[in-house]
Structures are given as structure tokens and as C-alpha cells.
Amino acid sequence: MEFLTRAGRQRYDELVADAAQGVVCLDFDGVLAPIVDDPSQAHIHPDAADVLVDLAARFRGVAVVTGRPCRQAVTLGDLDAVGRRILEAGQDLQVLGQYGNERWSASSGRVVSPRPPRGLASFVAELPDLLRREGLEDAHLEQKSLAVAVHTRRMADPVGALERLTPVLRKAAARYDLALEPGRMVVEVRAPGMNKGNAVRTLQKELHADAMMFVGDDLGDVDAFEAIIDLRRRGMVGFLVCSGSQEQRALVELADLLVDGPDGVMQLLKQIVADLPPPDADAPGR
Ligand SMILES: [Mg+2]
């Protein structure tokens, strides 16, 4: 492993030593599942199920923290089945969807979701006109219960389109008191007030964790990284991994380790499991 800093190596060692009090947080797209042109065709890495089960047996918590609705992540990741295996081992698997606005856990088996933000329906109704006025009507709209995502990935000039689209959506979203979430060839407009940073802080508090790891690949993960850096300032262990996107400099600059996409993530997670002390040694504190 090539750590980006000397502190990175140390943080890895501390995380491994503190696994029984630690929580592993993993983004879905670009981390557990390769990025694909059509988000509905994403599929989880074939090694992910076994790795998640192994991690859950040894860490205090394992959570998928994603911009996707919980139900989508659970379906695409076959996380129901993974969760059942984790439950059998006496642990739980959590999914925090739509940037933490929604929750699913293997133990509850259901999604808890707030009502859609006020203004979202009106914003969505206005969107086709708005896009047409800007010559962006070819953008792909993805409706979520609490948000709408506008994708430029399949357009003729995805980067140029994204650059034109972002300020237009930002202005319109502000009129409806909605928040803007930029990503890779996508801009999402959603409820304000929640982000992956809050999601991470919630998990840390609920599970009384004193070590947190986050693996992300996109701008939406910066909030989670910053939350963990803040927890680190208060003396907690925090280990940050960027999955394969050199272009997301904002994330790489904060990361302790850069890995090569979902394949690299799986390699890293297997290495962590291999490096953990034997199960009996960390029995107290579970
Ligand atoms: Mg991602």
C-alpha cells in the first residue's frame, strides 16, 4: 500500500488496532460498485459480499453511505442477502441513503425516510423548461424520492454541459430552498441540511465509535472526509481512502490512501481483515 502521508500509515495501523471500536463507512458507486453510464445498471463488486461479512464480524459497525435511495443500493448490492449473513453472525449492516436522509438496516429490514422536501415537486415540474431554455434538454433526469439528479454523462459534451448546467440549477434550487450536490457528470438537487458528513457523525455517535474509516470517490464524499478530520482533531482515529479518482483533487488532498477503484477497495478491505488481530484478542469492548 502506498500511503499519501506518513500519518496515513499510522492511521491505518490505529484503525486496525481499534477495529472493535471502529466503524467502516463505504460509498456505493465508485467504491463498492464500478461507475457505469446508466446508474440503474450498476452492480456491486463480486467480492464485496464476503468482505462486508468479514468486516462486520470484526468492526463495531459497517455502513454503506450513498447518495442513492436506500432501496436502490440494497437491491443493486444484494445487501438483503449480505445483511442476513451479518445478522447470523450477531452484527448489523446499515445503509444511509440519499446522503443520510434515509436509513435501512439488516435488522429492521425496512427503509425509514422523511417526507420529500417542500419545493421539490415544483422544482421538478419546472426542470424540463429550464433545461430546454439552456439547450440542455438531452440531459438525463433521475427522479429519487427526496431529490432529482441531472446527468450529463451520456450527452455529446458531458463536461461542457455540466459547466453550463451547474449555475442554472444552483440558481433555481435556491429559489425553492433546495440544496445542490455536484458530482461526476451529475448535479443533484435535494433537501438541504443533510450530507454525508452529518451521516458519518450520526453513525459515530450512535455506535459510540472511536475509530472511523471512510472510502469515497466523489465530491459528495468531501463532507464525510471533513467530518472525520474534525473527529480526528478531537482525538479519534480517522482513516480516509479515495477510490481511483485522481480528477477529484478535493478528495485526494484530504485522503490518507488512494486505491484503484472498486478492485483496489476490495484489495484494501481484504488486507485490513488479514491485518486484524485474532478475534479473541479484541473480545472485550464488543
Ligand atoms: Mg461515489
- Centroid of ligand 1 to alpha carbon of 225 (angstroms): 13
Beta-bridge partner residues of 96:
65, 103
Beta 179-183 vs 186-190: how paired, if at all?
antiparallel
Q: What is the pLDDT of residues 258-281, one digit of tens each?
A: 999 999 999 999 999 999 977 655
At 213, the pLDDT band (50, 70, 90 cuts) reads very high
Q: 219 burial class (0-12, 13-18, 19+ CB within 10 angstroms)?
A: middle
- Centroid of ligand 1 to alpha carbon of 85 (angstroms): 25
Q: What is the pLDDT of residues 239-251, one digit of tens each?
A: 999 998 666 788 9
- Centroid of ligand 1 to alpha carbon of 16 (angstroms): 24
Q: In what order do the strands lie in the sheet with 147-151?
A: 140-143, 147-151, 186-190, 179-183
Amino acid code (one letter) for 101: N
- Centroid of ligand 1 to alpha carbon of 35 (angstroms): 8
Q: In what order do the strands lie in the sheet with 211-216?
A: 111-112, 102-105, 93-97, 61-65, 22-26, 211-216, 237-243, 257-259
- Centroid of ligand 1 to alpha carbon of 283 (angstroms): 33
Q: Please give all residues whose CB falls under 5 A of ion ligand 1, grouped by chain where several chains appear.
A: 27, 29-30, 217-218
What are 124's three cell numbers? 421538478
pLDDT score for 280: 59
- Centroid of ligand 1 to alpha carbon of 156 (angstroms): 23
Q: For helices 261-275 and 48-58, give the axis angle rounded to 10 degrees.
A: 30
pLDDT at 286 over 70: no
pLDDT score for 90: 94
Q: What is the pLDDT of residues 173-188, one digit of tens each?
A: 999 999 998 888 899 9
- Centroid of ligand 1 to alpha carbon of 243 (angstroms): 9
- Centroid of ligand 1 to alpha carbon of 280 (angstroms): 35
Considering the chain, what is the average pLDDT of its residues?
A: 93
> What would you report as the CA-atom Rg of the chain, rounded to the nearest whole angstrom?
19
Q: What is the pLDDT of residues 98-137, one digit of tens each?
A: 999 999 999 999 999 989 988 999 999 999 999 999 999 9
- Centroid of ligand 1 to alpha carbon of 37 (angstroms): 13
pLDDT at 283 over 70: no
Q: Compute the distance between CA of residue 57 and CA of residue 155 in angstroms, rounded to an integer.
A: 43
- Centroid of ligand 1 to alpha carbon of 202 (angstroms): 20
Q: Stretch 159-173: mean pLDDT, rounded? A: 95
State whether residue 37 is helix, strand or coil: coil
Q: Stretch 64-68: mean pLDDT, rounded? A: 95
Instruction: List the single range of 31-45, 73-87, 245-259 with lowest mean pLDDT.
Output: 245-259
pLDDT at 1 over 80: no
- Centroid of ligand 1 to alpha carbon of 184 (angstroms): 9
- Centroid of ligand 1 to alpha carbon of 278 (angstroms): 32
Q: Are 182 and 140 in contact (CB under 8 A)?
A: no
Q: What is the pLDDT of residues 135-159, one digit of tens each?
A: 999 999 999 889 999 999 999 999 9
- Centroid of ligand 1 to alpha carbon of 217 (angstroms): 5
- Centroid of ligand 1 to alpha carbon of 249 (angstroms): 14
pLDDT score for 155: 93
Phi, psi for residue 150 in degrees, rounded to 5 = -115, 115
Torsion of CA 31, 226, 240, 112, to 10 degrees: -50
- Centroid of ligand 1 to alpha carbon of 120 (angstroms): 23
Report H helices in 207-260.
Answer: 222-233, 249-252
Q: Stretch 182-195: mean pLDDT, rounded? A: 89
- Centroid of ligand 1 to alpha carbon of 272 (angstroms): 21
- Centroid of ligand 1 to alpha carbon of 65 (angstroms): 9
Q: Compute the distance between CA of residue 85 and CA of residue 25 in angstroms, rounded to an integer.
A: 18
Per the document, the length of the chain is: 286
- Centroid of ligand 1 to alpha carbon of 60 (angstroms): 23
Q: Compute the distance between CA of residue 141 and CA of residue 176 in angstroms, rounded to an integer.
A: 18
User: Who has greater pLDDT, 248 or 203?
Assistant: 203
pLDDT at 194 over 90: no
At 54, the pLDDT band (50, 70, 90 cuts) reads very high
State whether residue 77 is helix, strand or coil: coil
- Centroid of ligand 1 to alpha carbon of 28 (angstroms): 6
The pTM score is 0.88
Q: How many CB atoms lie within 10 A of CB 205?
A: 9
